Amino acid sequence: LAKTTQPISMDSYEGQEVNITCSHNNIATNDYITWYQQFPSQGPRFIIQGYKTKVTNEVASLFIPADRKSSTLSLPRVSLSDTAVYYCLVGDNQAGTALIFGKGTTLSVSS
């Protein structure tokens, strides 16, 4: 499975856009890039998934360059409730490999 590297922590203020970048230099051809969010004492929650270019949903956008060796999760206009741990993962679900989580990025949003 491709290893991912992301910042341990980030700080932001309410109303700002937050971009969390993840490196995955040895991503395989069939791997997808997936992001999860986790609040304390809760299970992780799926945010977004993509393969290439840009994916957007009601929560976030995911930008993936052509070489796919990195990706950026973009959270528009964060609020205090976006304070959480964000995990970047890569893998091939069709092949049956389970997601392997790293330590994630702890995002702290202040007022």
Partner 1 sequence: DTGVSQDPRHKITKRGQNVTFRCDPISEHNRLYWYRQTLGQGPEFLTYFQNEAQLEKSRLLSDRFSAERPKGSFSTLEIQRTEQGDSAMYLCASGWTGGGYGYTFGSGTRLTVV
* Measured CA distances, 19 to 1, 82, 83 (Å): 24, 13, 14
Q: Return the range that interacts with partner 1 (CB under 8 A); candidates 18-26, 57-65, 74-82, 92-100.
A: 92-100
Q: What is the DSSP letter of 102?
A: -
Question: Which of residues 94 and 111 has its CB atom nearest to partner 1 in the complex?
Answer: 94
Residue from 29, 81, 94, 111 binding partner 1 (CB under 8 A): 94
Question: Which of residues 37 and 70 has its CB atom nearest to partner 1 in the complex?
Answer: 37
- Pick out residues in 41-80 that bind partner 1 (CB under 8 A): 41-46, 49
Q: Does 103 bind partner 1 (CB under 8 A)?
A: yes
Q: Does 29 bind partner 1 (CB under 8 A)?
A: no
DSSP 46-90: EEEEESSEEEE-SS-EEEE-TT-SEEEEEESS--GGG-EEEEEEE
Residue located via tokens 């993936």: 64
CB atoms within 10 A of CB 76: 12
Question: Which of residues 32 and 63 has its CB atom nearest to partner 1 in the complex?
Answer: 32
Where do contacts with partner 1 occur on this chain (CB under 8 A)? 32, 34, 41-46, 49, 85, 87, 89, 91, 93-94, 96, 98-104
